[in-house]
Structure 1
């Protein structure tokens, strides 16, 4: 005879720690399949490869928790990466970086305004801005790659602090900041409340439209920061930069346990989700599995994460 209480406890435990369990199981399986996987060099490589998507996924987490979706961030990465390179012909790289962060925030305001004030569904609003931004990228670059040779700027994407690459330090610092904002600030609490029940939050006196816009601003700023790291890492930008990155950022958040219906999520778990995706790609490359198979497997992982979340909510 089954024990409903024990079953409920097991379901609750799996629901709470599913991403961590999956992460640990994947590490164990891959380490048996590829002995070099747990080498220090490869671990650092996985973290560094996760830095650009991981930073973007921080912003995606806030947007999804607030009940929205932003598929324009890949194009925004391309625009800000191109701008931070192009502006260095006229100014030092640091003020150029500040300018592109403001550009990211401005597009976040635009996306949030279209969603909250004009009431365009988030995925449609950001589909429109995604197309507009990609067109601006082509106009800005003229369709040609842009290059930069600033050593100071190159440090952001290629520098080291001791044995640790600077992009990893930047990623971890932004994850810590994002988690603090989500858990300890009014902005974070209200974002969860709005994503959980927008009308209840409105009746409680929360300025719903303002905080929805702010979640998109967070998404825009993090996308711009990803653009800076991208340009610094490659020291060049093409008009095609960032294509598909928005899907990986959203997938990282969802795999990390951010509810697609809003109201629930964690920046720390999003980091694990980003690492999980990168580990899968890294392991498949080490094993020699074809790129097309990797896409299929990644899609199955995303469906499994969303399916488990939906099943767990239905059981609860």
Structure 2
């Protein structure tokens, strides 16, 4: 019978331990890059943009970038809530256009505060219709919001007679182009919506149930929770936020146009997906969604500085979305 060398066995154990520690270290680094891929992607784009264009890191350009993404950031927070319930909202771009037109229309006959309230109310009503169709009528979110997308865009053309409505409201213009502590007011509003969304998701029963519904709707129902109320609520909130974004558009340009917001729903979905949210629901964060919004805005901003046409920008956005989804799949594995 052969005898095992004790020293050789000890050496093999040490090599195995070193190998395991090396694998854990490598896996830890890989997990870090996959977990924080959205933040790292933004950091890389910021560095690359500053190297590509000297005009990128100027105060004027940074503020222009933030103004441009303010409306998308607000819409994306509503889209995040919908997607967390495993839904989808294709109507946000049309609600955005309708909000832009409605605020301009009402300013012709009433005060600014009343016009803002009426515009948000229109967004709430249309969002509520989507919510009722999805939650009570059990209609597929894609179909329900597609129908509301068509209705809202048609209403925008009807209200405006197919032409932009020019506004001369000093108060609205001050909001669209004014500052608070050197930060553009639309950006301040976007950050407020972001903070509120974060607090709702992290520190309220409503937020936890929204995530739970997307994770396992059957289990939530069996727990005695009225799922339909929460599904209805997220679409109503999305409608209000989309109308609010339309107000920002009119405030910045001084024009209520039925043509704005085309494709905005795709940008909002892209921002949420780039931020790591799952279209199957139950996974996503407001912080990463905001990073996704900044990434999309950054791409467009740099392309504009380089005088690149709009069409290549769409191609690049598409590749970024594919990359983000692939990273999600790798991280899950």
Report the TM-score, using the length of structure 1 for normalisation. Answer: 0.95
For 1:1-316, what aligned pairs fall within 5 Å after superposition? 5-313=24-332, 315=333
Distance 2:25 2:277 in 1: 25
Q: Could you tell me how far 1:229 is from its partner in structure 2?
A: 0.5
Distance 1:43 1:144 in 2: 32
Contact kept? 1:181, 1:188, Cα under 8 Å: yes
Q: Tell me the distance in 2 between the aligned counterparts of 1:114 and 1:148.
A: 35
Contact in 2 for aligned 1:260/1:306 (Cα 8 Å): no
Distance 1:5 1:162, change over 3 A: closer
Q: What RMSD, in angstroms, separates the aligned Cα atoms of the two structures?
A: 1.6
Quote the offset at 1:11 in angstroms. Answer: 4.2
Cα distance in 1 for partners of 2:195, 2:282 equals: 20
> What are the Cα deviations for residues 60-112 of structure 1, in whole angstroms up to 9, with x where unaligned?
11111111100101101111111111111221011111111121111121111
CA offsets 1:205-247 (integer angstroms, 9 cap, x no match): 2211110111111111110110111111111122212111111
Which segment drifts farther, 7-16 or 230-239? 7-16
In the alignment, structure 2 segments of 5+ residues that lack a partner are 1-18
Q: What is the rounded CA distance, in whole Å, between the counterparts of 1:304 and 1:67 in structure 2?
A: 21
Structure 1 residue 288 displacement after superposition: 2.7
Distance 1:154 1:311 in 2: 46
Show CA shifts across 1:169-210 (max 9, x none): 111111111111111111111000001111111112221111
Distance 1:9 1:162, change over 3 A: closer
Tell me by how many angstroms 1:8 deviates. 4.2
Task: Number of aligned residue pairs: give it.
Answer: 314
For residues 16 and 103 of structure 1, the distance between their equivalents in structure 2, rounded to whole angstroms, comes to 39
Report the 3-state secondary structure (helix = DSSP H, G, I; strand = E; otherwise coil) of the residue aligned with 1:67: coil
Partners of 2:201 and 2:208 within 8 A in 1:
yes
Counterparts of 1:143 and 1:83, CA distance in 2: 13
CA distance in 1, matches of 2:34, 2:219: 25
Q: 1:7 to 1:203 in 2, by over 3 A?
A: farther
CA separation of 1:296/1:265 partners in 2, compared to 1, >3 Å: closer, same or farther? Answer: same
In structure 1, distance between residues paired with 2:83 and 2:109 = 37
TM-score of the pair, normalised by structure 2: 0.90
